């Protein structure tokens, strides 16, 4: 006999600004159930989750929670300002019968001490504290909106394991496919304001969605209706792309096998490299390169060859030095020792974590073509810009649409499309999957697999790595990097364990071994310089000031009439926001680097 639901939403409707966002949504959560809530960016997933949490009142419909049932909601932007430190914030979520030690345990697992001051927290640290806050009481229902945001691979794997061990019911929103596949047992699809339910996990969602859309399309044709062009591309185009990507998997497996054969056949590699200078076969060759910041090694004696057509993924926890390694391999940073040789005729395009700014006054076509003609060149092949727009889920009617009126998700897609449209034979992508919905991730995967040049990719998305790269370079601590053939799952199979498990294993040593390992490093220890101490002390306040300025600019841009009323002010605000976000990212990176160095010197 099925248990009665702990949480029930019935016929929920909500309208924002005269446009219905949710028209007829249902959500039922039974004890111990694990459901994922999926849908395109802007479809209302986060809003529906807030309604389930009781934070937003719908225009109509019913919300029921079993008396005595506890519900915890993971906020995207948690407010810790009322608490003296992170431990007090996490403990505030505990009930009378909850384990008081669990708060400190969770913080330690998430890499925090509990003594951090709220004003000094980066966005990622605030996110980790919020996770500990909702997990500590082990509630009856957990509502988690993008819980993996700002987390690195070890933290994502730990969170996955922690959630699997809980008895709480879960409702998850996430763009991380592997995370959803591992945890979900049922799927709720929010599409055009209505929900559909499948009593299977996310692993079966795409096939089910395609069947639903194909059936709906057939019914529309029978009734003589014609779908709007944009809606057609946004929904039914997904099916064909997914099927094309399935066929591409065979090519990816062949590429990985070719890489394994190349690693074994050393003589063949040397013959290939002999003609690389003229043919451009060699892209990057690193010979014994090392780089350290103070006493902390980032790269130690790494030798690596990247050949034309390779797809290399770089994996490691936050602070391991992935961005530094990219800069070394691409010649933007000099190694302390060793040398890097770049191939001839390289044309490199980089998409970094901050993303390039877009001109809000330019149209979609002008952004993609640079204002020249009506075609783009992709991998040496010319393509009409309208066809290229369709590849990125833009309708032909949006060709003359100003960038300033596009949604956030559309701007993300446009930035990717522009980067990939630039002539290049080396594509460097640093966390390209950040803040992308599942459909856009499909598009990016398709573009990478079609790309005829070489790709260097940094990502925490395990499924995306499995779908795109031929080999992965993994941080093994102390500046050591080891390359494995295949994607993330292949790496785990070869190592026998994942990133977090390997790190945890290394931390467990006999005390005598720890003393022996620490002895030589003790002589080489140094103190933080005056400038480093000053930066470490002042950067938290600087980051807080930048976040406050960003919030003010975002308030200005939130005005939907600003662009049409005052384009100059809109442009000024967009430029200011881009610069402020770049400054904040740089400050956070510098603070993290100094904090890790301080802990190492003091530890």
Look at strands 194-198 and 34-38 and give their pairing. Answer: unpaired
CA-CA distance, 233 to 159, in Å (whole number)? 35
Q: Are 45 and 38 in contact (CB under 8 A)?
A: yes
Token pair of 286 as six digits: 């690193």
Residues annotated within the binding site are: 39-46, 316-323
Question: Residue 26 to residues 20, 30, 99, 266: CA-CA distances in angstroms?
Answer: 16, 13, 34, 60
CA-CA distance, 195 to 174, in Å (whole number)? 17
Q: Are 455 and 463 in contact (CB under 8 A)?
A: no
Q: How many CA atoms lie within 13 A of 599 on its CB side?
A: 10
Mind giving me the DSSP string for 148-197?
TTT--HHHHHHHHHHHHH--SEEEEE-S-HHHHHHH-SEEEEEETTEEEE
Token pair of 113 as six digits: 């001490």
524 exposed, middle or buried (CB, 10 Å; 0-12, 13-18, 19+)? exposed
Token pair of 327 as six digits: 């800069």
Question: Residue 54 to residues 58, 137, 187: CA-CA distances in angstroms?
Answer: 9, 18, 21
Mind giving me the DSSP string for 293-325?
ETTEEEEEEEEEEEETT-EEEEE--TTS-HHHH
CA-CA distance, 203 to 56, in Å (whole number)? 30
179 phi, psi to nearest 5 deg? -60, -45
CA-CA distance, 456 to 440, in Å (whole number)? 19
Q: Are 40 and 234 in contact (CB under 8 A)?
A: yes
CA-CA distance, 233 to 223, in Å (whole number)? 20
CA-CA distance, 73 to 398, in Å (whole number)? 37
Q: How many CA atoms lie within 13 A of 92 on its CB side?
A: 15
Residue 442: closest CA among 208, 283, 207, 239: 239
Residues in contact with 469: Cβ distance below 8 Å, sequence separation at least 6, in sequence order: 311, 312, 313, 455, 457, 487
Token pair of 442 as six digits: 């499909």
Q: How far does Cα 208 stand from its chain's mean position?
A: 25
CA-CA distance, 118 to 351, in Å (whole number)? 32
CA-CA distance, 116 to 129, in Å (whole number)? 10
CA-CA distance, 536 to 158, in Å (whole number)? 28
Q: What is the DSSP letter of 5?
A: P
Residues annotated within the binding site for ATP are: 39-46, 316-323
């Amino acid at each position: 006999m099925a248990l009665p639901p702990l949480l029930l939403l019935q016929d929920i409707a909500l309208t924002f600004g005269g446009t219905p966002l949710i028209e007829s949504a249902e959500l039922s959560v039974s004890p111990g159930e694990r459901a994922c809530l999926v849908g395109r960016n802007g479809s209302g997933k986060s809003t529906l989750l807030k309604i389930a949490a009781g934070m937003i009142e719908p225009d109509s419909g019913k919300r029921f929670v079993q008396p005595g049932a506890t519900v915890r909601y993971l906020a995207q932007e948690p407010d810790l300002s009322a608490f003296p430190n992170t431990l007090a914030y996490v403990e505030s979520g505990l009930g009378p019968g909850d384990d008081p030690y669990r708060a400190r345990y969770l913080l330690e697992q998430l890499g925090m001490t509990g003594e951090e001051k709220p004003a000094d927290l980066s966005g990622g640290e605030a996110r980790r504290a919020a996770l500990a806050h909702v997990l500590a009481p082990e509630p009856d229902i957990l509502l988690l909106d993008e819980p993996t945001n700002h987390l690195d691979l070890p933290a994502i794997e730990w969170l996955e394991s922690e959630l699997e061990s809980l008895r709480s019911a879960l409702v998850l929103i996430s763009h991380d496919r592997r995370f959803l596949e591992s945890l979900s047992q049922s799927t709720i699809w929010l599409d055009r304001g209505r929900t559909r339910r499948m009593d299977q996990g996310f692993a079966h969602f795409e096939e089910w969605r395609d069947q639903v859309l194909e059936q709906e399309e057939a019914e529309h044709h029978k009734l003589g209706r014609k779908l709007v062009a944009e809606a057609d591309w946004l929904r039914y185009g997904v099916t064909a792309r997914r099927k094309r990507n399935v066929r591409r998997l065979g090519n990816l497996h062949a590429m990985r096998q070719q890489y394994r054969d190349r690693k074994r056949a050393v003589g063949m590699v040397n013959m290939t490299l002999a003609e690389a200078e003229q043919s451009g076969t060699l892209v990057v060759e690193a010979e014994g390169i090392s780089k350290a910041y103070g006493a902390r090694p980032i790269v130690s004696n790494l030798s690596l060859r990247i050949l034309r057509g390779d797809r290399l993924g770089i994996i490691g926890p936050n602070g391991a030095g992935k961005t530094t390694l990219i800069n070394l391999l691409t010649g933007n940073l000099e190694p302390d020792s060793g040398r890097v040789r770049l191939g001839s005729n390289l044309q490199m395009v980089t998409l970094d974590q901050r993303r390039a700014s877009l001109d809000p006054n330019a149209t979609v076509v002008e952004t993609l073509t640079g204002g020249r003609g009506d075609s783009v060149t992709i991998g040496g092949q010319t393509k009409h810009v309208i066809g290229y727009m369709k590849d990125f889920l833009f309708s032909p009617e949006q060709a003359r649409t100003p960038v300033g009126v596009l949604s956030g998700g559309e701007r993300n897609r446009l930035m990717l499309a522009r980067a990939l449209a630039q002539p290049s034979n080396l594509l460097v992508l640093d966390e390209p999957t950040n803040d992308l919905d599942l459909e856009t991730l499909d598009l990016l995967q398709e573009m990478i697999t079609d790309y005829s040049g070489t790709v260097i990719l940094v990502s925490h998305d395990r499924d995306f790595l499995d779908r795109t790269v031929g080999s992965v370079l993994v941080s093994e601590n102390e500046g050591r990097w080891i390359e494995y053939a295949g994607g993330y799952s292949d790496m785990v199979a070869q190592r026998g364990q994942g990133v977090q498990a390997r790190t945890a294993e290394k931390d467990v040593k006999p005390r005598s071994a720890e003393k022996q390992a620490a002895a030589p490093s003790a002589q080489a220890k140094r103190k933080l310089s005056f400038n480093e101490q000053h930066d470490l002390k002042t950067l938290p306040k600087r980051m807080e000031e930048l976040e406050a300025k960003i919030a003010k600019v975002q308030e200005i841009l939130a005005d939907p009439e600003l662009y049409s009323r005052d384009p100059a002010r809109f442009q000024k605000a967009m430029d200011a926001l881009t610069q402020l976000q770049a400054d904040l990212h740089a400050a956070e990176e510098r603070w993290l680097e100094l904090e890790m160095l301080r802990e190492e010197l003091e530890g």
